Chains A and B, each alone.
Chain A
Amino acid sequence: MDNLQELLHGFTIAVTVPHLVLMVVGVLLGILVGVLPGLGAPNGVSLLLPLTFGMQPVSAIILLSSMYWGALFGGSVTSILFNIPGEPSSVATTFDGYPMARDGRPTTALATAFGSAAFGALVGVILITFLASWVAQVALAFGPPEYFAVYFLAFASFVGMGGAAPIKTVVALAIGFAIAAIGIDTVSGSVRLTMGVDELVKGVSFVVAVMGLFGIGELLVAVEEEFHARAVSSKIDWREVFRAVGRLPRHGVALLRSAAIGCWMGITPGGPTAASFMSYGIARRFSRRGRYFGTGEVEGIISPETADHAAGTSALLPMLSLGIPGSATAAVMMGGLMIWGLNPGPMLFVDQKDFVWGLIASMYVGNIVAVALVLLTVPVFAALMRIPFVVIAPLIVIICVVGAYSVSNSYLDVVMMLGFGIVGYLFKKLFYPLAPLVLAIVIGDKAEDAFRQSMLMSKGSLGIFFANKLVTCLIVAGIALLLLPLALQLARLWRKPASPATDTTSQEKVII
C-alpha cells in the first residue's frame, strides 16, 4: 500500500487553494477550446505552455492537465449538439449522441456523456494509482507486431458490425486507408498520393476530414430534407441532468466493459480514438438493444465516452513512465516537462515523487472539478438547440470553415473540408457508413507503419504475428471478432430448416 501513502501525500499537494484555482481556470479554458472546433486540446495546451515556464512543474502540469480534461469534455459538446467532433476520440460519440439531441433530448445526451466520461476517467486514475509499475511493464512489451495487432483488433471489432452491408464497410475502410496514405510515408520516406499538389505533402488532417464529413455532410442532408427547419423544442430541466446521471448505474455492464476496453487501449498504445470506436462496436454487438444503435441509444453514448476518457487518462501513464506520449496533447505536455527540466521516463517516479503523485492526485480532483463544471453548463449548451435551424446552419458553416482553416492556416484545407462535406452527404444518401472511413483515416497510417515495421523485422514473414503469446492472443481475438458475425449467420442458416419460425429479432439481425 505504498502507493496509497504516496497518493495521500499527493493530495496534500493537489488540494491547496492555488492549485484548486488553477484547476478551475484550466478546466474552463479547456471547455472553451474543446467547444471551439479547430482549436482542440493540443493547440490549447501549446498556447498555454509558455505561460507555465515560470511556474513550479507541479502547478504547471496541474494547469495543463486540467485544461486537457476540460477540452475532452468540451469536445463531446459539439459532437452531440452539432455532429462536429472536436477530437478524433469523440467521433464515436456523435453516432448516438447527435440523434438523441436532435430528438429533443440534448440535456439527457450531454449529461449521460459527461457522467459516463467521468466514470471512465475515474477508473483510469485508479488504475494508474495502483498498477503504475505493472502498467509500465505491459507497455514496454509492445513492439511493432503488437501495435499492429492492437490496431487490427480495433478494426476487427468495428468491421462487419451491421448498420451497413459488409462490402460497403470495406469500401469505406479502403477509401479511408487511401486518404491516410497521403503525404510522406514514414517507412520509405517518399511522398505518396499528393497528385501534384505540393501542399498535400503534410497529409490530410483529421479535423478537416471530420468537419466536412460530419458537420457539412449532415447540414446538406438536413437542408435537403427540411426536417431540421424548425428548432428542437427541448425543455431545459435541471432535474433531467441529475436524472440522466442517476440512470447511469442501470447500464453498469456497459460502463464496466467500456472502462475496461478504455484502460486496456490506453495502456497498450492503442489510444483513446481506437478505444472509443472499439467500445462502441462491441457494445453494438453485445447490447440487447444493439439494433437500435445509431438512433439515439443511451448505451451508444455511454460506451464510447467511458472508453475515451478511461483511455485518455490511463494514456498519461506511458507518457510519464516511458516518455511515450499516448496522444497529441500528451506530446505537448511532454515537451513542457522537458522545458521545466524534468525528463519523462522510468526515473520520474523515483526522482520526482512530488510531481508524479501531485499530478495523479490532481487527476482525481481535476476530474471532479471538471465534471461539476460541465454538468452546470449542460442547460446552457442544451439551450443552443433551441436556436432555429436557419440561424444555426450558417453558424455551423462558419465554424467548419474557420476550424478547417485554423488547423494550419491553409486555404486548401477549407476546400478539402467542403469536398469532404460532399463525400459525407453522398455516403449518407447511399447508406455507406462513415465510421469505418473515419477510423481508417485516423489510425490507418499507424496500422500501416506498424505492419511494415514488423515486416522489416521479420524479413517479410507473417510468422512474426504469432511469435509470442501476447501478439498471438491479440491477432486471434481480432480474427475471431471478424469471423463472429459470419459464424453466427452460418449457425442460423444451419438451424433454420429445423425451426422455420425464427423470431423477428434474429431475422432483423440477419438483415443488419
Chain B
Amino acid sequence: MGRTSTFLLSAAAAVLAGATPAFSAWQPQKPIEFVATAGPGGGTDNLARAVQNIITKHKLTEQPIVVVNKGGGSGAEGYVYGKASAGDPHKVIFGTSNAWQQPLVSKVAFNYTDLTPIAAMAQDEFLLWVKQDAPYKTAGDYLKAAASGEFKMGGAQSKDTDEVLTRMIEKAGHIKLTYIPFKSGAETAVQLAGGHLDSHVNNPSESLGQWRGGTQRPLCVFSPKRLPQGAKVTATEGWSDVPTCIEQGLDIKQYEQPRTVWLPGKVTPDQAAFYVDLMKKVQATPEWKDYIEKTSQVDTFLTGAEFDKFIKEDLEHVKQVAGEQGWLVK
C-alpha cells in the first residue's frame, strides 16, 4: 500500500511539475545504477559497461550512470539486490539466463518473477571445443571416442548453462562425461589448452584467443544455422566455417545464452517502457555493432511477450534436464 501511494504521489508530482509531457514518457529523476551480476571483466560486466558508455556518449538520458558489480554467488548477489530494491526504477540489473535457471537448482533467495523483464540483448552462442592436437575432426569422431573412454568436460560453474549443455550432449550422444566445474570460461579454456580436460563448451569470446593461438579448436556450434560471416579468426577459418552440431550428427538444435536486462519488481509500466526504449536506442548505435562484433556475440532484441515466451520455453527445457539429473531444489 505504502509503495503504491508513493507511486501515485510521485506520478502526480511529475505531472504537476510539468517536467515531462503529460502521461507519456517517464524520465529518471536521479543517477541510475547498473548492477552487473558478475565480477569485473566478465561478459555481463562488459555488457553493462558497454551500454553505459554508449548511453553516456550519445547522451541518451540526462542522468549519470554508475556500474556496480554484484557477482557474488554466481550472480545471485545482484539478483537478490534487485529483489530488495523493489519499486526503485533507478536500478537496472544486467544478467543472463541465470535469472531463471539458478532458482531452479539452488536455494537462492530470488526468482526471476521478482524482477521486471526489460529485454534480452545479444545472444552468446555455445560451441564444442577440443584441444588443437586432438585426433577427432568432427563431432561424430568426438562422440565415438568419448563412448569408449570417459572424457573430462570442463565448464564454468556447477548446474549452470555449461553443465546443462553437457548433460544434453550426454543424452543426445549416448555417452558419459565427467563434468568438472571451474570459476569461469576463461579458466576452463586454459585447462583445456594444458591438456587437463578433453573438451568444453565455451562461448566464442571465451576461447577466441586460444583458437587463434592454436591451442584449441571448435568442432561444432549449437545453433540451427552456421554463425554469420565475419573476419577470419585463424589464417584459414572464421566463425562461419564452424559446422553446426546437427550437421555432424550431434542432435542438439539450439542452445544459447541471452544477456538479459531487468528492473526491480513493482515498477510502473511507464518506467519499464522508458528502459525498453533506451535499450532499443543503444542497439541502434554503431558502437553497439562494434561491441557485438568484438565479443563475437549474435545481435538480438527480445522484449515483452517475445521475451516472456523465450523464458518460459527455456525454463521448461532446463527443468527437464535438471529433473532428470535430480538437481531441482525443494
Chain B interface (Cβ within 8 Å of chain A)? 39-42, 45-46, 49-50, 52-53, 56, 67-70, 72-74, 76-77, 80, 105-109, 152, 157-160, 163, 178-183, 186-187, 189-191, 193-196, 205, 208-210, 212-215, 291, 294-295, 327
Contact = CB atoms under 8 A, between A and B. Distances in A.
B209 A189 contact: no
Contacts of A331: 39-42
Nearest to A330: B41
Contact of B208 (A185, A188, A343, A456): A343
Contacts, number: 160
Interface in A477-505: none
A453 B154 CA distance: 10
Interface string A34-47: 00000000100110
Contact of A343 (B50, B209, B327): B209
Given A324-B190, A325-B186, A408 B68 contact: yes
B57 to A, nearest CB: 9
A49 B212 contact: no
Interface of A: 42, 45-46, 49-50, 53, 139-144, 183-191, 198-199, 201-203, 322-325, 328, 331-335, 338-339, 341, 343-348, 351, 408-409, 449, 453, 456-457, 459
A378 B278 CA distance: 49
Contact of A184 (B49, B73, B179, B187): B73
Contact of B45 (A199, A335, A449): A335
B281 to A, nearest CB: 19
Contacts of B208: 343, 345
A189 B73 contact: no
Given A186-B181, A188-B158, A345-B209, A408 B105 contact: no
A186 B158 contact: yes
B106 A335 contact: no
A323 B210 contact: yes
Contact of A408 (B74, B77, B187): B77
B250 to A, nearest CB: 23
Contacts of A453: 180-182
Contacts of A323: 186, 189-190, 209-210
Contact of A344 (B160, B178, B209): B209
A202 B70 contact: yes
- Which 3 pairs across A and B sit closest by C-beta, in order of nearness? A345-B209, A202-B72, A346-B213
A37 B105 CA distance: 37
A170 to B, nearest CB: 27
B214 to A, nearest CB: 7
Given A141-B194, A189-B181, A457-B180, A338 B157 contact: no
